[in-house]
Amino acid sequence: MAHTYLLFDFGTDEEKAQLARHKLEGWKQAFRLDKKLQYKLERAEDESKAESAQAEEPSEAPKPEKPKAKSKAKSKAKEAPATEEAPAANGKVNLLVRLYFSGHEKLTEQRWLERIPSEEPFKQASPRVVRQGEAQFDEIVKQFDTLG
């Protein structure tokens, strides 16, 4: 079975990356592509540091509001969207998609290779296809495996 990787660079647009992830997840379920279509999101290191710093701030803020249970729940709901939007401006988001079809499924693999980059959230993310045997293939396999 041959692996094929699709690389998408969403830049700092976390919302489009999540939309693409949601679309892939829908396809996986609808077409039963459990092991055949796998994906991982890669975020820049700067963004992960910003997320950890922002994750600490909201945990400190609600402590003084312990007597008020209702207002505490509302404050958490208000803070959650702010922490999700802030990292989008800091780091780059890359999406790695691995297609893993057997030899007799060449036509299906070709259809997915044409379909995924042509769909809406993927079009603007500068899609790049790397097949087994190409120069960058080993590097991308290591990158995919380290994302865990």
Per-residue pLDDT of the chain (148 residues; tens, 9 = 90+): 689 999 999 999 999 999 999 999 999 999 999 999 999 999 986 544 444 444 444 444 444 445 555 554 454 444 444 444 444 456 899 999 999 999 999 999 999 999 999 999 999 999 999 999 999 999 999 999 999 7
**116 and 54 within one domain:** no
**108 and 83 within one domain:** no
Best CA proximity match to 130, nearest among 115, 148, 144:
144
**127 and 102 within one domain:** yes
106's CB contacts (< 8 A; 6+ apart) are none
Domain that holds residue 79: 48-88
**130 and 65 within one domain:** no
**96 and 39 within one domain:** yes
Domain count, the chain: 2
Q: What is the DSSP letter of 134?
A: S
**98 and 34 within one domain:** yes
C-alpha count within 13 angstroms, C-beta hemisphere, residue 63 = 6
**142 and 96 within one domain:** yes
Q: What is the DSSP letter of 106?
A: H
Token pair 């980059």 is found at: 117
**54 and 80 within one domain:** yes
Q: In what order do the strands lie in the sheet with 37-43?
A: 37-43, 93-101, 2-9, 128-131
Tokens of 26: 């829908």
Question: What CATH number is given to the structural domain containing 130?
Answer: 3.30.70
- The H-assigned helical ranges of 33-97 are 45-60, 69-85
**40 and 97 within one domain:** yes
Tell me if 101 sits within 8 A of 7, measured CB to CB.
no
**105 and 80 within one domain:** no
**98 and 75 within one domain:** no
- 128: β partners: 7
**139 and 97 within one domain:** yes
Query: What does the alpha-carbon distance between residue 85 and residue 13 come to, in Å, rounded to a whole number?
Result: 10
